[in-house]
């Protein structure tokens, strides 16, 4: 059995998923699942449906956004008390995700055309920036995550 910091491997994973960076890690895992959804939907629409690649890309991106919303709503932010309806959270999430897409495209264009960087490293940097954009704005706008009193440590502030 593999032991990490005195915990068996499954409990170490549990600590990661339930520890202080729980939301961030879960958000990242949901994002990775969205990449797979995006690729599968795009391939199906182009190869099986005969759609134009650009139209398929848009449909695939929106499908991934909606599936990511559902997973984030049920898992990443399941305990967030927002007072918003599911449709309200979905609309806000969609706005944030589409904004993240614009950020990503702008960064790729700036790095490739403006600085002459190869498109793949530029895209990796853009993905990182849009991940930060999406996480911060999703937390503050779509689910408006606020610390509960049990998460505030006296003299230290918010413990998340």
Q: What is the pLDDT of residue 116?
A: 93
pLDDT the model gives residue 50: 93
Only one residue has tokens 């520890």, namely 19
Q: Give residues with Cβ within 8 angstroms of 92, minimum separation 6.
A: 84, 141, 142
Mean pLDDT of all residues in the chain? 83
Cα 54–chain centre separation: 22
Q: What is the DSSP string of 9-28?
A: HHHHHHHHHHSTTHHHHHHH
pLDDT of residue 93: 95
Asked if 28 and 77 touch (Cβ cutoff 8 Å), the reply is: no
Give the per-residue pLDDT at 49: 95
DSSP 8-state class, residue 143: S
Task: Note the pTM of the prediction, 2 decimals.
Answer: 0.74
Residue bearing tokens 């932010």: 77
Nearest-angstrom CA–CA distance, 101 and 7: 39
User: Per-domain residue ranges for the chain?
Assistant: 20-148
What are the φ and ψ backbone dihedral angles of 120, each rounded to 5 degrees? Answer: -70, -50
Give the pLDDT mean for 125-148.
84
Give the per-residue pLDDT at 1. Answer: 47
Residue 152 pLDDT grade (very low, low, confident, very high; cuts 50, 70, 90): very low
CB-CB neighbours of 106 under 10 Å: 13
- Mean pLDDT value of segment 63-89: 92
Predicted pLDDT of residue 81: 79
83-106 per-position pLDDT tens digit: 889 999 999 999 999 999 899 889
Which pLDDT score is estimated for 11? Answer: 66
Across 25-29, average pLDDT: 93
- Using alpha carbons, list the distances in angstroms from residue 47 to 59, 62, 129: 14, 18, 31
């Amino acid at each position: 059995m593999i032991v990490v910091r005195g915990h068996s491997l499954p409990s170490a994973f549990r600590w990661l998923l339930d520890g202080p960076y729980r939301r961030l890690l879960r958000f990242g895992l949901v994002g990775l699942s969205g990449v797979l959804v995006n690729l599968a939907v795009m391939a199906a629409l182009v190869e099986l449906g005969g759609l134009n690649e650009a139209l398929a890309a848009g449909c695939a991106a929106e499908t991934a956004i909606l599936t990511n919303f559902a997973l984030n709503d049920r898992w990443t932010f399941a305990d967030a008390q927002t007072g918003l309806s599911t449709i309200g959270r979905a609309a806000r999430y969609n706005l944030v995700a589409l904004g993240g897409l614009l950020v990503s495209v702008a960064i790729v264009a700036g790095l490739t055309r403006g600085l002459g960087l190869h498109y793949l490293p530029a895209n990796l940097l853009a993905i990182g920036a849009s991940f930060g954009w999406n996480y911060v704005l999703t937390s503050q706008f779509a689910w408006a995550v606020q610390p509960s009193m049990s998460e505030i440590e006296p003299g230290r502030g918010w413990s998340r």
